[in-house]
Amino acid sequence: MNEQISRLMDGEIDASELDVVCTALKGHDAMLTWTCYHTIGDALRGESAVTRSVRAAVSTQLASEPTVLAPRVRTVSGAASWAWAAAASIAAVTVVGWTAYSLIDATPAGFAKAREAGTMRAAQIRPLTVPADYLLAHQEYAPANALQSVGPYMRDFAASSPLRPAVAE
């Protein structure tokens, strides 16, 4: 096993042996061999500061670094969160209501025309004078109604004077 650990450190181990050596390194004796070989390698390279325990070196370095304090997360109490939610709802309703109110006229045009039509007398209504040939030419564009099927078969007539009811003598 020592020879395989040495070849692993030198990068000369076969791929087939790699799993066996890594599994063996989980044992205490193999880890001691690994540490010993690294210490021998450091001495051969002439490194004066030989670190025998990486864990101790990392712990020492972390202890010397300053501690970073994160600010605490502020939590809002239940009553305060309810008050903010109510205020936001009232503000939203106010904005929507004010916008809708500003878009509406005091009296919508449709209601004004309906009032006018209700107060007109028959004498105030002017007769509709549309030439018959115009109506015939644009008959296909007229809105659909119950008489549309018989419309083409009806005869047009024009009167030069308004019709007057016959008076019984």
Instruction: Provide the H-helix boundaries in the chain.
Output: 2-10, 15-24, 28-45, 54-64, 78-103, 109-119, 132-137
- Residue 62 included in any domain: no
112 pLDDT higher than 70: no
Mean pLDDT value across residues 59-70: 83
Same domain, 7 and 49: yes
pLDDT band at 87 (very low <50, low <70, confident <90, very high): very high
- The residue range of the domain holding 93 is 79-125
Tell me, yes or no, whether 47 and 85 share the same domain: no
Residue 155 lies in a domain: no
CATH no. for residue 41? 1.10.10
Residue 11: inside a domain, yes or no?
yes
